[in-house]
Amino acid sequence: MKTKGFIGLGIMGFSMAGHISKVHPTFVYNRSHSKSHHWTDTYTGNVAESPEDLGISCEEIFICVGDDDDVREVIAGNKGLINTMQPGGIIVDHTTTSAVLSFEMHQLCLKKGVHYLDAPVSGGQAGADNGALTVMVGGDKIAYEQVTETINLYAKFSKLMGPSGSGQLTKMVNQICIAGLVQGLAEGINFSEKAGLDTKDVIEVISKGAAQSWQMENRWETMSLGDYAHGFAVDHMRKDLKIAIEEAEKKGADIEITKLIDGFYKDIQDLGGNRWDTSSLLKRLQRHD
Ligand code: NAP
């Protein structure tokens, strides 16, 4: 079994790396060391001193850090992967970033004969924990085929969407589709409560019809309880929406609702909800209650 590397042991990466470690010898690296040690207390594997250190031991390295700058740092920083990875190596980046960053990393890696696949994920913390993520990939087909088996350890579905950047563009579509939908669900629950209905009954009925969605199925109850500790943080969503809004402007695509909801998420940050999950749009509607 080949040794695999994983960088970024946050909400998503922690269990993604865990799934890999059940099949392959695994080296992990995280910026704050406490998470690496928590990971080795939970799973079997080794902690690397730096990304550079990982690049010495592993041909295939998976990344799930926060944003563009984090990816730049782990690949191209002083102690970056690119210093040590050998030609033929593959980097699979699960971070949600701009398509510009994907192309920049792809070009940089190509110079060393290393493949860079942009491979953002969907499915949230539960998807990562249960090995049921969806992965949208941009980059080289042969490299993608080489890593598919490992991706399948934590994904229920993955697909190569096209050349470098295509995975991130697909993820932007995903976030554009979700933003308005979550607001709709928040407004529905808020309305139901103000109308004196039993929201549980309402959801039971309407989830059997055209209003049904993943967000409704997985989030209505926690939203009703004011429980916003379910993975995808508002800060990350604002990062994603900024990327989508910038890309939409370049492409001349109108995303009016997405821009509006981005402003609503800013309100949530102003309420101190940076790490609340994205369903906290309901909390914003209830802020004056
Ligand atoms: P997170 O909990 O903030 O985890 C990010 C991890 O990356 C942290 O452990 C952080 O370490 C580490 N990190 C950041 N910069 C680093 C660096 N330079 N070197 C090494 N480690 C570094 O975020 P997450 O929720 O797992 O999300 C990760 C990515 O997946 C984001 O791009 C997000 O948009 C995307 N995503 C998330 C979800 C979700 O439901 N959470 C769903 C789909 C996609 P520290 O401990 O030092 O902060």
Verdict on whether the full-model pTM lies above 0.85: yes
Backbone angles phi, psi at 127, to 5 degrees: -65, -40
Q: Check residue 135 and give its pLDDT.
A: 98
Place 27 in a pLDDT band, splitting at 50, 70 and 90.
Answer: very high
135 within ligand 1 shell (Cβ under 6 A): no
Residues 6+ apart with CB under 8 A from 68: 97, 98, 100, 101
- pLDDT attached to residue 173: 98
Q: How far is the CA of 232 from the centre of ligand 1 (A)?
A: 10
Q: What is the mean pLDDT of residues 47-64?
A: 97
Could you give the CA distance from residue 76 to residue 71 in angstroms, rounded to a whole number?
8
Q: Could you list the active site residues?
A: 171
As a whole number, mean pLDDT of residues 129-155 equals: 98
What's the confidence (pLDDT) of residue 231? 74
Is the C-beta atom of 71 inside 6 A of ligand 1?
no
Do residues 40 and 140 share a domain?
A: yes
30 and 113 housed in the same domain: yes
Domain boundary among 129, 163, 197: 163
pLDDT tens per residue, range 201-254: 999 999 999 999 999 999 999 999 999 998 789 999 999 999 999 999 999 999
Taking the centre of ligand 1 as the mean of its atom positions, its distance from the CA of residue 70, in whole angstroms, is: 9
Q: What is the pLDDT of residue 105?
A: 98
Q: Domain with 207 in it: what CATH number?
A: 1.10.1040.10
Burial class (CB in 10 A: 0-12, 13-18, 19+), 210: exposed
Residues 148 and 183 in one domain: no
**What are the tens digits of pLDDT across the range 85-96?**
999 999 999 999
Residue 109 shares a structural domain with residue 178: no
**CA–CA separation, 55 vs 244, rounded Å?**
31
What does the pLDDT look like over 157-209, one tens digit per residue? 999 999 999 999 999 999 999 999 999 999 999 999 999 999 999 999 999 99
Give the closest residue (by CA) to ligand 1 atom 39: 232
Residue nearest to atom 44 of ligand 1 (CA): 121
Mean pLDDT of the residues in the chain: 97
**Closest-CA residue to 240 (of 176, 188, 153):** 176
Enclosing domain of residue 196: 169-286
Which residues have a Cβ under 8 Å from the Cβ of 74 and sit 6 or more positions away? 7, 8, 29, 51, 63, 65, 80, 81
Residue 47: pLDDT band with limits 50, 70, 90: very high
Q: Is the same domain home to 117 and 234?
A: no
| Å from CA of 200 to ligand 1 middle | 33
